[in-house]
A and B are shown apart, each in its own frame.
Chain A
Amino acid sequence: MTDRMTQPAHKRAVIAGAGMSEVGKVTGTAEEFAVAAINSALQDAGLGLGDVDGLLVSAGAMGGVSLDLAVTLGLRDLRLLSQLQAFGATATQMVQQAVLAVESGTATTVVCVWADDPIREAGREALYGSGIRPRSPWRAIHSAAGAVGANDLYAVATRRHMNRFGTTSEQLGHIAVAQREWAGLNPVAQKGDPITLADHAESRWISEPLRLLDCCLISNGAAAFVVTTADRASAGPHPAVEVRGWGQSHPGAYLQRNDDFGLVSGAARSGPAALDMARLALTDIDLVQLYDCYTFTVLLTLEDYGFCDKGEGGEFVASGVLGPGRSLALNTGGGQLSGYYLWGMTPLMEALTQVRGTAGQRQLAQHDTALVSGNGGIFSHHATLVLERAGS
């Protein structure tokens, strides 16, 4: 693909604004959070609902938003309206799809939103994930045999990596500790109190070898962003963000033979693809926001992106590179482990905040270019974005 930056400003699509609802243990429905996030994102972009002619909607675990959101928002004459679902890879995919829509002339201003409401008051409770996909006979067979529950399946992946490469629980603890330090600087983080490696080692087993502090939070909330052309965005109040590159990788063979399971993920393909499109190298990246449903997901992604050699992820994360003030600016809002869990919107929103220079107390001095990952299913779906502040 030709260098995206060779496209003129009236054709090239950028991210013009972003916004979130309140997030965490907050009361409300997914649709209410979505409306708040969309209004926040449009205001951030200096635009209004009257400017919107495209909407991409994605629901989280509870299936609480759908195309009906267009009705709630009073949107008329949309030229693009779709629901997307690639689990944790959706947010990164929505950027790709919105950019393609604007650059093809399908729409001029596309809002992308993700919302979820798993934490519910009495009377509305439901099982986490009940809105994700219809029950199927094979899913029922696999569940009856025992293959049910993301924690368990990710734990099997983690143990395989430990057995093959000698990765340790303590090394995973370094990720948890560093991200909690970053969360302490983030006013919207759900968990800001510092933790130690000992705290991590003493946290209860979830599914061996994963402990409580290896696992992400659960959150209510929504996030949204606006994609439009660079020249439209340049009229807005804040810097736009260029989408320099993207990639997706879906290795397939879910629950079937997958020789790389736990050892190599789709990041090994989607990362290089995104950097190639961007004409950039890892050394050009200032900040990294990785999907961190578990500490292990971060470790595997770092290896697959090439921050260290395959199998050396444990040594790498334990070597002092992580945390505020250190050499690798990773998950600088606390991530899903300590910040908030809005699936793929967590790393994307933090990347946009940092790149645009609005990260307050945790703002990085060097913040031009970001690498963002999305990870869905059980290492089933992967997507990468390379983002850069306009004009840098």
Chain B
Amino acid sequence: MPGSDDFLEAASRGVFLLRRCRECETVNSPDVSVCAQCHSLALDWSPASGSARLISWTVTHPKPPTPSRVLAVAELEEGPWWWADLEEADPAALAEGDTLAIAWRDSPVGRVPIFRPNGRVAALENVIPNHD
């Protein structure tokens, strides 16, 4: 399937592609073929900046031994939402509006974009609170 093939090819190079409409300049999610705003077919691939704003999340509790994950939905700087695991975050410290960054996960289907907290390091003692 052309769209997902192009997406995965760019992802393998660490590039997260979105769909920018030539007619109305809306940036759409990568999985559309038609602009959600104006229904034009004139969509170009356009790389995401990699920055996102947290909207909501969950902490999953699958059957052991599968480990818990934080699954988040965040709004990319360009507008589309992206759903992905948020790694290396303390779920108890999350808040809507937190800045996230795109990271990359290798999977059987290819490299896919996931989230990490923006500018944070894994060790909790280095965490600097960024809100009250």
Co-complex (A, B): yes
**CB within 8 Å of B: which residues of A?**
136-138, 140-147, 149, 151-153, 155-157, 159-160, 163, 204-210, 252-253, 255-258, 261-262
Do the beta carbons of A256 and B112 come within 8 Å of each other?
no
Which residue of A138, A145, A252 is within 8 Å of B4 (Cβ)?
A: A138
Q: Which residue of A lies closest to B70 (CB)?
A: A146
Given contacts A145-B107, A207-B58, 13 further A-B contacts (CB under 8 A): A137-B109, A141-B8, A144-B112, A146-B85, A159-B58, A205-B59, A206-B61, A208-B58, A208-B91, A255-B29, A255-B31, A261-B55, A261-B73
| A157 closest partner in B (C-beta) | B56
Pick out which of these stretches binds chain A: B38-46, B74-82, B123-131. B74-82
With the chains together, A3 CA to B33 CA distance in Å?
Answer: 40
Chain A residues lying within 8 Å of B49, measured Cβ to Cβ, are: none
Partner of B56 from A141, A156, A255, A256 at Cβ < 8 Å = A156
Most buried by B among A151, A155, A157, A206: A155
Q: List 15 A-B contacts (CB under 8 A).
A: A138-B4, A141-B110, A145-B82, A145-B107, A145-B113, A156-B56, A156-B72, A156-B73, A157-B56, A208-B60, A253-B36, A255-B83, A256-B28, A258-B81, A262-B56
Q: How far is the CA of A141 from the CA of B83 in the complex (A)?
A: 11
Q: Which residue on A lies nearest to B96, using beta carbons?
A: A163
Tell me whether A144 and B109 are in contact (CB under 8 A). Answer: yes
Tell me whether A145 and B85 are in contact (CB under 8 A): yes
Residues of B within 8 A of A141 (CB): 4, 7-8, 31, 109-110, 112
Q: How many residues of B contact A (CB 8 A)?
A: 41
- Given A146-B84, A146-B85, A261-B73, verify A159-B56 contact (CB < 8 Å): yes
Chain B residues with CB under 8 A of A257: 29, 36, 75, 79-81
How far does the alpha carbon of A138 sit from the alpha carbon of B114 in the complex, in Å? 15
A145 neighbours in B (Cβ, 8 Å): 82-85, 105, 107, 112-114
B residues less than 8 Å from A255 (CB atoms): 29, 31, 81, 83
Q: How far is the CA of A227 from the CA of B3 in the complex (A)?
A: 43
A145 to chain B, nearest CB (A): 4
A156 touches B84 (CB 8 A): no
B31 touches A256 (CB 8 A): yes
Determine if B108 is an interface residue (Cβ-Cβ < 8 Å): yes
The answer to whether A137 and B71 touch across the interface, beta carbons within 8 angstroms, is: no
Cα distance A207–B73 in the bound complex, in angstroms: 15
Q: Could you give, for residues 60-100 of chain B, a 1 whenever the CB lies within 8 Å of some chain A CB and a 0 otherwise?
A: 11000000010111010001111111000001000110000
Cross-chain contact B59 with A160 (CB below 8 angstroms): no
Cβ contact within 8 Å between A160 and B114: no
Q: Is the CB of A208 within 8 A of B61?
A: yes
Please tell me if the beta carbons of B60 and A256 are within 8 angstroms of each other in the complex.
no
Query: Could you say which residues of chain A place their CB within 8 Å of the CB of B95?
Result: 163
Neighbour of B105 across the interface among A137, A144, A155, A157, CB < 8 A: A144
